[in-house]
Amino acid sequence: MKSNDHRAGGRPPARRVRLAGRAGLAALAAAVLVTGCASGGGGDTGSDGGTSNGTSDGAGTFTPGLVNMPKDEGDVVRGGTLTYGVQALAPVLTPGKQGASRGGTGGDAAAAVYDVLMKYDPDSGEFTPQLAESLTSDDDVTWTLKLREGVKFSDGTPLDAQAVVASFERYTAQNGADAGLWNQTVESASATDPRTVTITLKAPWHRFPSMLALGYGMVVAPTAGSDDDFKPIGAGPFIEQEFRPGEARILKANPDYWGGPPPLDTIRMVALNGPQENFDSLKSGGLDLAYIRGLAPAIQDVVDAGYPGYISVLNSGSAEIINNREGRPGADVRVRKAIAMALDPEQIDQRAQNGEGMPTSDIFAETSRWHPDVPGVAFDPDQARKLLGEAKADGYDGTLDYMFLNEPKDHAIALAVQALLQNVGFTVNMHGATSAADIITGVYVQHDFDLAHAGLGFYESIPDLGLQGTLQSDSPSNTAGYSDEQMDALIAKFRSTASEDDARQVMAEIQEHWNETVPSAPIGALPSIRAWLKNVHGVEPSATGIMLLGDAWKSGS
């Protein structure tokens, strides 16, 4: 029997880890903000004399893992407030109506309030129980979720199997970020006794526990209500105390948390103006914990300055999304191939980040445990001209309407993309959006674009989610409108794999079919770091960049 049992006892302690190996507009906004996570390094010495498992070669290649960790963090100190600079403050703490499945855009706050049934262990690449006591299966089809005894929500009501099933149903009804994959894979979920939920899948899925580390694993109390009467009631280490839209979300410690009162009194989450401001505020002491996303030079500065932190890499986090829909140039596979072959990720990275990023056309970067021995689409401007010429001979005028966010880095990327495409014969009309909301409306809602700079976003901890969401023909989050029966079958085949070797073999088939059909054009992996001051301890990385803060504490220096 395969088992995800946790060792006996109370709350599992925070561990130092190293990596081995959408519903409404709010959810769409989270997706845009998140997209545009790996085998691990060895234990290098950090600049403060501590351990460093995540690494950087100083030229933009980042290996996921913890960096600059002290060898001895000392005894836990209770009290105080931790100020966390996130990417965006979710407007509500309803998991199914915000980015509960992504760290930095609501997932951290939701996990703090609701906890998660399972958590990701980057050291092993496996999922282990957190709020759950165990999750087991004999056949990867029927999964038995056993709950901890005596757990209560913050309002004193019991967290039992019926509450878990009701929370699953609430999340599905709200079309939460992972609901498409859940609906495709889960046959039923039922309470078979007060502490047991039996989940039956439609087909074997070895990595199913990953779903319970995200939105489905954040159990909302039946007493939470709905719509305008909703109150964020969970069983996590913190309770929402105050929310000031656009300013801050304040969480206070839950004294009745099942694992004991958390060390911190409060957590204050704020959203500043991008990664550089987060870094500057960390350096000045205005932030205790900062999310610095996608800006490779700033990430390198964080590492070089000796700040402890956790590096993650979002595969295909930087990409040119091609609209495949009928009536668009990208409906012609020759045009899609011409776009991909015209783009040189290294030239684009040199233009945008002085060559310090992670340029690649591979779906999964070389740092990923899912990376196959098949490269992505190769830079080939001559072949791009040939394919574009064939399309023009059949009546295409060569014009592309290109949408991007008009901020410094993305603007630099867009100019490089335009130059490369025009070099092979395209005419590129630039449409710079002044806000993320414009990108959401034009790209994700109205699909009014030919080409758009954003991201695809394949997470290391749950690759199945990105594949299904981005590529599945009937997925509502398939922004490119790509539809291919063979790719659908390959995604299902990947999901059926149990071993990493088998998964990489199927991923090789997926990359080969991607190269033939070109759904979109990745141009780079997107590194991020959650960095904290040296007096902050106990921050625990989990899936999709969510940081678990129930064991976090601050020392006096």
Give pLDDT tens digits for 108-137: 999 999 999 999 988 788 899 999 999 999
User: Which range among 39-48, 196-205, 422-431, 493-502 shows the weakest confidence by mean pLDDT?
Assistant: 39-48
Percentage of the chain surpassing pLDDT 70? 89
Res 42 pLDDT > 80: no
Residue-wise pLDDT for 373-408, tens only, equals 999 999 999 999 999 999 999 999 999 999 999 988
Render 478-541 in DSSP notation, one character per residue: -TT----HHHHHHHHHHHH--SHHHHHHHHHHHHHHHHHH-SSEEEEEEEEEEEE-TTEE--EE
Rounded Cα distance, 265 and 172, in Å: 33
Q: How confident is the model at residue 60 (pLDDT cuts 50, 70, 90)?
A: low
Q: How confident is the model at residue 99 (pLDDT cuts 50, 70, 90)?
A: low
| Average pLDDT, integer, range 478-494 | 97
The two structure tokens encoding residue 213: 């580390």
pTM, entire model: 0.86
396 membership: H or E segment, kind and range: none
Res 416 pLDDT > 50: yes
Residue-wise pLDDT for 260-308, tens only, equals 999 999 999 998 877 888 999 999 999 999 999 888 888 999 999 999 9
Q: What is the DSSP letter of 91?
A: S
Residue-wise pLDDT for 308-347, tens only, equals 999 999 999 999 999 999 999 999 999 999 999 999 999 9
User: Which range among 36-40, 104-108, 538-542 shows the weakest confidence by mean pLDDT?
Assistant: 36-40
| Average pLDDT, integer, range 473-499 | 95
pLDDT for 33: 41
pLDDT for 30: 41
Angle of helix 500-517 versus helix 463-471 axis, rounded to 10:
20
Res 49 pLDDT > 60: no
Q: For the chain, which residues make up each domain, given as ranges? A: 316-527
| Average pLDDT, integer, range 515-534 | 96
Which burial class, exposed, middle or buried, applies to 346 when counting CB atoms under 10 A from its CB (0-12, 13-18, 19+)? middle
Rounded Cα distance, 273 and 9, in Å: 42
Q: What CATH code would you report for 316-527? A: 3.10.105.10
- Bigger pLDDT: 186 vs 356: 186
Q: How confident is the model at residue 55 (pLDDT cuts 50, 70, 90)?
A: low
pLDDT for 9: 39
Res 52 pLDDT > 80: no
